[in-house]
Structure 1
């Protein structure tokens, strides 16, 4: 696994926003948790409102806005998963 992995939602070359795949697992988990919980909080706030307009343009923009931190959180979880699988494989080989 490369030391720095680009976020998957960005197609720019070279990528400017990267994940340090060698960062401590607890730091990676904290960053993933923060992004996913932020999206969850916003969606819960919307879900429990009594009246929300249904302008499709606004909803499309809003969904794109929420997809960014959610995708970032998933990218971080993917790095965590790869690291944990590598650790488990190394332990099984030893």
Structure 2
């Protein structure tokens, strides 16, 4: 990704959680990777996407604009990003923020 000036960058943070159950951890990492790829394709050179584990919790997958709106939260009942409707909701939230 090309460097952006301070007034051009938007940061989207995808939160996922690590867990002692390797299959869930791998699943969450794959969810993160796939979602990151979808968002980078939809918003080329417009987002800086980071991912980090959620300390002290398991099974969360959250998408939040840093300093802004929480766009998706498995913890709050949105589930995994496993449908086009859920992906569209996230993308529409990003469009509104841009």
Q: Is TM more than 0.5 here?
A: no
Which structure shows the bigger proportion of residues in strand conformation?
A: 2
| Greater RCO (Cα-Cα under 8 Å, separation 6 or more) | 1
Instruction: Report which of the two structures shows the higher radius of gyration computed on alpha carbons.
Output: 1
When the two structures are superposed, what TM-score results if normalisation uses the length of structure 2? Answer: 0.28
When the two structures are superposed, what TM-score results if normalisation uses the length of structure 1? Answer: 0.29
